[in-house]
Amino acid sequence: MDPDYQPGFTVGARYTRPRSGKDLRTSWEHLSTNDSAFIPVSDLATQWISPFSQTGPSTSESANEVGIFHLKAARGEVGFDYDLVNLDMGQTVNFGSSTQARLFAGVSWVRLQQQLISTFFNDPTIDPVPPVVAPANPDLEFITLTNTSTYTGVGPRLGLMTEHALPRGFMFLGELSGAVLAGSMQPAQYSFAGVYKDRVDAEQIASQPVTQVVWNGDAKLGLGYARQLARGSILTFETGFKAAVFVNPFSTYETSTNVLPLDIGSLSTNSMRHTPSNFTLNGWYASWSLQW
């Protein structure tokens, strides 16, 4: 899978106390993104598609019998949900007539979710090249494995925003901030399902939520343009690049060696591995604001 950029949005408001440089700002940022890929085998008579780490090797007694031979195509899906709410107070300081910096401190709340789905499709109509024998199950349609991990946390946030005025109303903008978030992490629920024509055999490996501390950093760099309107209001446009990282908000418990008898649709495992992972966002942004 090779995810492309997908759109999100941010909405917010800011109140500035007159002639003091002090202000209060709040914002909500949201992104929901997904991607998928489908691939069949290139040679139906000799190949199957099934990673042993997920579905297990051949489960047949005889050396020349391949129990997963009929898995001829696979689809992978990934989805992410991201919500971030910031509330902070700031102090703006001028450095000469062209540059100003806003120092701010506040609190951040975040909710993250990651879902990975692997689906393997059964085709019982294909026979392998002799002497290989592959018993087919005509009732099995596909097997699917789902990993879902979530994190919700809150914590203090500090940062710096700078603005440098350029000729003709343009400005150069930059922002850097960091947060320490404490909250609840739900490790991935490893769900297996064998889907048949007349039933679904489902099994699950689950873990209780745990407390997790997550470090967050984000930055943006942009170019803006401000135009003064009637009655003193100011319309500002801004575009640039932004990025953010959350350190280890997701956790997956994955089976490392599986045995999957397709004829009965069960999943057996003899070991597990724990894999933490980061969550990152990056991309181009465009925004506008109205000040009055």
Of 29-38, 66-75, 103-112, 209-218, least confident by mean pLDDT is 66-75
* Measured CA distances, 201 to 77, 141, 192, 264, 266 (Å): 21, 12, 8, 8, 7
| Token pair recorded at residue 1 | 């899978």
Mean pLDDT, range 210-236, rounded to an integer: 94
The span from the CA of 148 to the CA of 114, in Å, is 6
Tokens 């930055």 — which residue? 219
The per-residue pLDDT for 189 is 77
For the chain, give the percent of residues with pLDDT over 90: 60
* Tens-place pLDDT, residues 240-260: 999 999 999 998 876 665 555
Better-predicted residue by pLDDT, 265 or 92: 92
* Tens-place pLDDT, residues 53-65: 666 555 554 555 5
Q: pLDDT averaged over the chain?
A: 88
The per-residue pLDDT for 192 is 82
Tokens 């001829």 — which residue? 72
Mean pLDDT, range 203-214, rounded to an integer: 88
pLDDT exceeds cutoff 80 at 261: no
The per-residue pLDDT for 23 is 96
The per-residue pLDDT for 268 is 63
Domain edges within the chain: 29-291
* Tens-place pLDDT, residues 118-177: 999 999 898 888 877 787 888 889 988 888 999 999 999 999 999 999 999 999 999 999
Between the two ends of the chain, the Cα-to-Cα distance in Å is 46
pLDDT exceeds cutoff 50 at 264: no
The span from the CA of 273 to the CA of 269, in Å, is 11
The span from the CA of 266 to the CA of 67, in Å, is 13
The per-residue pLDDT for 83 is 98
The per-residue pLDDT for 263 is 47
For the chain, give the percent of residues with pLDDT over 70: 88
Mean pLDDT, range 109-114, rounded to an integer: 97
3-state secondary structure 137-177: CCCEEEEEEEEEEEEEEEEEEEEEEEEEECHHHEEEEEEEE
Confidence of residue 7 (pLDDT cuts 50, 70, 90): very high
Its pTM stands at 0.85
- Phi-psi map region of 98: left, alpha, beta (phi>0 left; psi -120 to 50 alpha): alpha
Decide if 222 contacts 170 (C-beta within 8 A). no
Q: Which one, of 41, 14, 12, lies nearest residue 27 by Cα?
A: 12
pLDDT exceeds cutoff 80 at 266: no
The per-residue pLDDT for 191 is 82
Peptide bond into 51 cis (omega under 30): no
